[in-house]
Chains A and B, each alone.
Chain A
Amino acid sequence: MAQNKIISMIDMIRHAYRVNKHRRLTLLINYLSGLEVEYIRQDETYLDTRFKQLEAYYQEEVEVATKRLGGYTKDLEKKEKAIASYDKKAYWQRRAYQTKLSRTSHGMIPQELLNTYDQKQAQKRHEYLASLDAKYPNVLLDSNEKALYTKHIEERKNVLVHRQERAQTIYHQKHIRWIKSIDKNKIRILKLTEANEKLSTYIEDFHNEEVKRDERLIFNLRAALKELEDHSDSQKRHHKKHQKLKDQIDLIETTKQVIEQPSIHLSVSKLKMFFGGVKAVNDLSFQVKKGEIFGLIGPNGAGKTTVFNCLTQFYKATAGSMVFRNKEGNVVNLYQRKTHDMIHEGIARSFQNVELIWELTVLDNLLVAAHSLLVTNYFEHMIHSRRMMREEKVLRTKGMSILKNLGIEEYAYRSPYGLPYGILKKVELARTLMTDPSLIILDEPAAGLNDAETQELARIIQKINHEYGITIFLVEHDMGLVMSICDTVCAISFGKMIGIGTPYEIQQNPDVRKAYLGDDSDE
């Protein structure tokens, strides 16, 4: 028995390692295929950009010479500069004079004095221009200078041609290198895909084996349960054991159900969460279908947020089973996972009160969310390896595209500090999208928003649901929002389910009315 346990534990550890490796390899393959595209793009654009750069350098170098040849002599340039500086000085002098006048005459500016000043200044400027003319007689270029400038241009042109030739040789070297690395990449991708497929078959085998084992197990468990139930006196004594058996049977049955029906995304069965004597959630069962918007409603303190926290493993549920179909299509028991692993399974969540990182910009907040997509480790971050820089660039582009899709790209480089609440909620949504989830859990997305903002949010939630095909599971107080966008609504009160169905059915449900509006006899 003990040996079996050890073997099964080793199997579990190996399985976890394989799943992790599978995900890492998938990310790596994505990265490598992205790199290939990058190489091809560089290969196509390198020569163009380089030539443009060289042309710009050439233009900069011959700028003066062409100017001089075009008739814009050194003297003319000096003269224009002198006039500009004189005008600037005159402007400030006039302003100072005006201020002085207004101060001496208590706010009123005597126009006559100002006019005489202006006339005087105009006279002065005229004289100055004449003196400048005398100083810089506008001579033309002599032939000697002209030859010098043309020679300079010729020289530069030769240099440009030389540089272009060199750029081409460099390009050829680079081209060969790129082609080589593309080929290498392709081979590597093939190898990795092969390894990945092997891993995924292993994982599938493990799951199949688990199903088989469960079938055997459930038979034994049922027999044990029946034996317990037959002796009614021992049932009381073995209450805990009885409960445990029931839970195990329930977990296996739920798993089986999810495996058999591919449309189910998340199945919660008989979830219980007790805080000491307080039964926050008691015997709650529901199923979320793939690709739908599922709403969880209930009066204050009904235990909605507790359900969320149980799902994301912030609280370990007292009893009950939560079975989820993850990103790769495998059916997993969420209870065995850790909080920071939920994102790898494909569950992203938002918070009731916005929990952004206030010291970072909006875009950087999205990058934090992309943490589960990183292929680099902290050592590479320490030395800023090339791979990390590329990855950062890719993630930034992805973040910008998500922000654009949600219509908030103008806030990308701003601190979230001081942004309106509606925008912050959208940023949180964008953050959940950044992690490539298959299920998004939204905790009161419309809390603290006004009507227009709520409508906008509803539109965005529907858009995410349609465009990305992501299942959405939300808790909400705003009945208008829930009834307008949800496909299925589940109502709970004091931890117990009181109704599930389409929004219309829930509206007609007498129990729900009672929970929200109180008993009729109370009035």
Chain B
Amino acid sequence: MKIWMKEHLQPFLKKPHFGFIVVGLVLITVRMLVDVLPPDLYGAIVTTSYYYIAGLGFALLLGYGGLASLGTGAFVGIGAFTLHYVYRFMTMPLLIAILAAIVLSIIISIAFGFVSLRISGMYLAIVTMGLSQIVIEIIKNIPNYASGTTGGFLSGGPRRPLVFLGMELSANAAVFFMAVFIVLGMIVVHNLITSATGRALLSIKNSETAAQTMGINLLKYRLLAFVISGVYGTLAGVLSIMYVRNASVNQIGLTFALNILAAVIIGGTKSIWGILMGTFVIFGLDLAIFQRFQLGNYSVIINGILIILVVMFYPGGLIQLFGDIKKFIKKMKAKWRERKYGTE
């Protein structure tokens, strides 16, 4: 038993994957404590967790591929509306609806990737913004979504409650799905960025010419980055509609894409844990903290100031903060010791 612990359990606990699983467990615990927790905090945590998935995908694109895309909203929209359409109007099982959303997002993200091959930087941002606008317009032109909202699964027309494997899902049951997808998503991103693919993406970001001479096919890796980020965005959309029970195109426009961009930059573009913090700051802080202190009216202003402060003083993201705090404590300790005991 002791040997087993030493040889198998302890190395596993030291692995970063353990931390990811803990996140999933924490989410499940939060779901269990839904009656105890204040509803604002609960809502903030759940919102953060589904937008975090979109943030993770976007971080792979921005932090590793160096591709600043503003098309994240389109994929969240594809996820939400495709799930709704396939599940409710085509009456397919839930899993098939999710798969359909993922397949559709893969096709569209490949289109995004082809566009990105020739352009980069600001121009890429503008083009992807236009593409996402096209996607939103297409959604609006589906007759069922003429108003730009889904209206949920139960209102009007053919009603169909969300059923998974014969069980009817409540809104809170979506949290279990979130836990599973977050753990999987974190593990996949971590694996990718610590392997040859992550290095290839980084080398493309640093110098395209050098990457090409080393045999890295630009098209292939850009497409890969776009597809992964698209699938992650779609999953975020799927989970959001499973929890919120309706979706609106107003939520997935340019503002959302900019919010995700801000979340990733605040958290630290290359850090999995940093993005979690950044997403909470952007999407959860308002609900969890500002509303409680009757600061809801100023939340946008406070968020803006926070973004400015972080970008000015922590260009590496909030994840840098922890290292700095550690350093500060060490420094203060040394200072205090010198004051009391003097130098040797």
Once A99-B341, A381-B195 are accepted as A-B contacts, the answer to whether A368 and B203 lie under 8 Å apart by CB is: yes
Given contact pairs A96-B340, A360-B202, a sample of 18 additional A-B residue pairs in the complex whose CB atoms are under 8 Å apart: A57-B3, A95-B341, A95-B342, A96-B341, A99-B341, A103-B342, A343-B214, A344-B215, A351-B209, A355-B210, A357-B202, A357-B206, A359-B206, A364-B199, A367-B199, A368-B196, A369-B214, A431-B214
Q: Are B197 and A340 in contact (CB under 8 A)?
A: no
Interfacial chain B residues near A435, Cβ < 8 Å: 214-215
Q: Are B216 and A99 in contact (CB under 8 A)?
A: no
How distant is the Cα of A383 from the Cα of B224 in the complex, in angstroms?
15
Once A340-B215, A369-B214, A381-B191 are accepted as A-B contacts, the answer to whether A355 and B196 lie under 8 Å apart by CB is: no
Interfacial chain B residues near A381, Cβ < 8 Å: 191-192, 195-198
Q: Are A348 and B213 in contact (CB under 8 A)?
A: yes
Q: How far is the CB of A388 from chain B (nearest CB, A)?
A: 6
Interfacial chain A residues near B217, Cβ < 8 Å: 340
Q: Which residue of B196, B203, B215, B218 contacts A357 across the interface (Cβ within 8 Å)?
A: B203
- Mark interface residues in A100-143 (1 if CB within 8 Å of B CB, else 0): 00110000000000000000000000000000000000000000
How distant is the Cα of A314 from the Cα of B224 in the complex, in angstroms?
23
The yes or no answer to B212 lying at the interface (CB within 8 A) is yes
Pull 18 A–B residue pairs with CB atoms less than 8 Å apart, ordered by A: A95-B341, A95-B344, A99-B342, A102-B342, A163-B3, A312-B213, A340-B215, A343-B213, A343-B214, A355-B210, A357-B206, A358-B206, A368-B216, A371-B196, A378-B192, A378-B197, A381-B192, A384-B191
The yes or no answer to A507 lying at the interface (CB within 8 A) is no
The yes or no answer to A194 lying at the interface (CB within 8 A) is no
Q: Which of B217, B340, B342 has the most CB of A within 10 A?
A: B342
Interface residues of B (CB under 8 A from A): 2-3, 6, 188, 191-192, 194-200, 202-203, 206-207, 209-218, 224, 270, 340-344
How distant is the Cα of A349 from the Cα of B207 in the complex, in angstroms?
14
Interface residues of A (CB under 8 A from B): 57, 92, 95-96, 98-99, 102-103, 163, 312, 314, 339-344, 348-349, 351, 355-360, 364, 367-372, 374, 376, 378, 381-384, 388, 392, 431, 435
Interfacial chain B residues near A102, Cβ < 8 Å: 342
Q: Are A359 and B196 in contact (CB under 8 A)?
A: no
Interfacial chain B residues near A383, Cβ < 8 Å: 188, 191
How distant is the Cα of A342 from the Cα of B215 in the complex, in angstroms?
7
Interfacial chain B residues near A376, Cβ < 8 Å: 196
How distant is the Cα of A57 from the Cα of B2 in the complex, in angstroms?
10
Q: How far is the CB of A295 from chain B (nearest CB, A)?
A: 21
Question: Chain B's interface: helix, strand, loop or mixed, by majority?
Answer: helix
Q: Are A355 and B207 in contact (CB under 8 A)?
A: yes
Once A374-B196, A378-B224, A382-B191 are accepted as A-B contacts, the answer to whether A359 and B202 lie under 8 Å apart by CB is: yes
Q: How far is the CB of A515 from chain B (nearest CB, A)?
A: 29
Interfacial chain B residues near A378, Cβ < 8 Å: 192, 197, 224
How distant is the Cα of A99 from the Cα of B224 in the complex, in angstroms?
64
How distant is the Cα of A95 from the Cα of B203 in the complex, in angstroms?
54
Return the chain A residue nearest B189 by Cβ: A382
Interfacial chain B residues near A382, Cβ < 8 Å: 188, 191-192, 197
Q: Are A388 and B195 in contact (CB under 8 A)?
A: yes
Q: How many A-B residue pairs have CB under 8 A?
A: 106
How distant is the Cα of A341 from the Cα of B219 in the complex, in angstroms?
13
How distant is the Cα of A232 from the Cα of B196 in the complex, in angstroms?
60
Q: Are A371 and B191 in contact (CB under 8 A)?
A: no
Q: Which of B197, B210, B213, B215 has the most CB of A within 10 A?
A: B213
How distant is the Cα of A435 from the Cα of B213 in the complex, in angstroms?
10
Interfacial chain B residues near A314, Cβ < 8 Å: 209, 212
Q: Are A368 and B342 in contact (CB under 8 A)?
A: no
Q: Which 6 A-B residue pairs are closest in the complex by CB-CB distance?
A: A99-B342, A372-B215, A381-B195, A343-B215, A355-B210, A339-B212
Q: Are A92 and B214 in contact (CB under 8 A)?
A: no
Interfacial chain A residues near B340, Cβ < 8 Å: 96, 99
Q: How far is the CB of A461 from chain B (nearest CB, A)?
A: 18
Q: Are B216 and A340 in contact (CB under 8 A)?
A: yes
How distant is the Cα of A268 from the Cα of B279 in the complex, in angstroms?
56
Q: How far is the CB of B270 from chain A (nearest CB, A)?
A: 8
Interfacial chain B residues near A431, Cβ < 8 Å: 214
Q: Are A340 and B218 in contact (CB under 8 A)?
A: yes
Return the chain A residue nearest B343 by Cβ: A99
Q: Which of A99, A163, A367, A378 has the most CB of B within 10 A?
A: A378
How distant is the Cα of A378 from the Cα of B221 in the complex, in angstroms?
9
How distant is the Cα of A499 from the Cα of B224 in the complex, in angstroms?
48
Q: How far is the CB of A397 from chain B (nearest CB, A)?
A: 16
Return the chain A residue nearest B270 by Cβ: A359
Interfacial chain A residues near B192, Cβ < 8 Å: 378, 381-382
Interfacial chain A residues near B202, Cβ < 8 Å: 357, 359-360, 368
Return the chain B residue nearest A339 by Cβ: B212
How distant is the Cα of A348 from the Cα of B213 in the complex, in angstroms?
7
How distant is the Cα of A95 from the Cα of B338 in the complex, in angstroms?
10
Return the chain A residue nearest B194 by Cβ: A384
Q: How far is the CB of B329 from chain A (nearest CB, A)?
A: 20
Once A343-B213, A372-B214, A382-B188 are accepted as A-B contacts, the answer to whether A96 and B224 lie under 8 Å apart by CB is: no
